[in-house]
Amino acid sequence: MALLLDTSVLEPDQRTDAFVDAMGRASVPCAIHVENPDRVSARMNVWNLGAASLFRSESTGMRLTRAPHHVRSTSMPVLAIALQESGIGHLDQYQSQRRVPAGELLMTDLTSTYDFSWSGTGASQCLYVPMDRLGLPIDAVRDAATRPHHSNLYPLMIAHVRELFRGADLLDTDPAAEQLGEASIELARALVTSIAHANPHVSTPRSALAMTSIRRYIREHLHDPALHPARIAHAHNISLRQLYKICSDNDFRIEQWIITQRLRKAREELRGPATADLPIAAIAHRAGFVDAGHFSRRFRQAYGISPTRWRQLRD
């Protein structure tokens, strides 16, 4: 856990600037306003789950406004899936105004303009999911963000977010934190896909929906050195040409993604206590690499450090 802000340890005249600074570091570029500059109270925490992350904010009244000039600035495309913990949130995005009472879920496309606020005192528990990890058309994601309650998975996502924050302090130090992050991303993808199916007016390409199965198959067979596009196509009863077409439609580089996932798996195992006695070559093989030298070169290219040095940092 990282504590971004606790205004209780600051002098009153320092709290507004500290709030603006902390919120600016935790979110995408936007204009940040406090409801009452003379009575600011806030606490913010973040937890890391690999590709996904958690952010909790509890504060007196505030407003976040993301204008077109903020959108044009550089920031990672993110979908925020937030559970309103207390207070009533108000979101204005895509010409749709939503009132979010405590216990309800709010999905916000942080790549677009929006206006979010609460008055009085409120708190929010937010799961940040990188858009590129969803592998779905942006239009489908944006449509889903306006009506998350249209899916049968809505209660499941609420329960998932609530449980993530209930055990956040332990979860982000767990050896399986990255895997938990991946599972959270998969659930977010399932939620968006479910909403898309429920709306006959939104056309979500079959190729986008097929990516969920393709990604899952790759993760389940990462350990197999024989995993390659032809085998993946065969497992899905499609031709190799069709597989590459699906990947192209979704801007998905399949060979590079396999390498990336294998490197992440190996990096996680190199730091895990259960594999402390395994040779690096054995860990590379468990992640699907045939040649230890090739693994070491790709690891250094990806992370700027050798596998040996990465393992040493565990201690």
DSSP state of 278: S
Is the pLDDT at 195 greater than 90? The verdict is no
Alpha helices in 37-126 (DSSP H): 68-71
Q: Is the pLDDT of residue 203 over 50?
A: no
Under DSSP, is residue 141 helix (H, G, I), strand (E, B) or coil? helix
Task: Output the average pLDDT for the chain.
Answer: 89
DSSP labels for 28-56?
SS-EEEES-TTS--EEEEEEEETTEEEEE
Is the pLDDT at 220 greater than 90? The verdict is no
**Do 257 and 274 touch, CB atoms closer than 8 A?**
no
* Contact of 55 with 2, CB cutoff 8 Å: no
Is the model's pLDDT at 201 over the cut of 60? no
Rounded percentage of the chain residues whose pLDDT exceeds 70: 94
Query: Which pLDDT tens digit goes with each residue over 132-175?
Result: 778 777 788 888 888 888 889 999 999 999 999 999 999 988 88
User: Per-residue confidence at 248, pLDDT binned at 50, 70, 90?
Assistant: confident
pLDDT band with cut points at 50, 70 and 90 for residue 7 = very high
Burial 285-311 (b: 16+ CB within 10 A, else e): bbbbbeebeebbebbeeeeeeebeebb
Report the pLDDT value the prediction gives residue 120, as an integer from 0 to 100: 95
Contacts of 114 (CB under 8 A, 6+ apart): 64, 65, 66, 91, 92, 93, 108
Identify whether the C-beta of residue 280 lies closer than 8 Å to the C-beta of residue 292: yes
* 284-306 confidence digits (pLDDT tens): 999 999 999 999 999 999 889 99
CA pair distance 280, 7, nearest whole angstrom: 45
pLDDT level of residue 209 (50, 70, 90 thresholds)? low
**Are 222 and 265 a contacting pair, CB within 8 Å?**
yes
Contact 247, 205 (CB under 8 A): no
pLDDT digits (tens, 9 = 90+) for 29-87: 899 999 999 999 999 999 999 889 999 999 999 999 999 998 887 667 889 999 999 99
Average pLDDT over residues 235-258: 87
Q: What architecture is the 2-198 domain classified under in CATH?
A: Sandwich (2.60)
Q: DSSP readout, 207-268?
A: HHHHHHHHHHHHHHTTT-TT--HHHHHHHTT--HHHHHHHHHHTT--HHHHHHHHHHHHHHH
Report domain extents, the chain.
2-198, 205-252, 262-315
If residue 181 lies in a helix (H) or strand (E), which one and from where to where? helix 177-198
Q: Domain 262-315 falls in which CATH fold? A: Arc Repressor Mutant, subunit A (1.10.10)
Separation in Å, CA 162 to CA 84, 117, 165, 168, 243: 10, 21, 5, 10, 37
Cβ(187)–Cβ(155) under 8 Å? no
**Which residue type occupies 119?**
S
How far apart, in Å, are the Cα atoms of 142 and each of 31, 192, 193, 213?
Answer: 22, 9, 12, 22
Q: What is the pLDDT of residue 158?
A: 96
pLDDT of 210: 77
Residues 232 and 214: beta-carbon distance below 8 Å = yes
Q: What is the pTM of this model?
A: 0.69
- Do the domains at 2-198 and 262-315 have one common CATH topology? no
* 62: its two tokens: 């505030």
Contact present, 307 and 295 (Cβ < 8 Å): yes
> In this model, does residue 308 exceed pLDDT 70?
yes
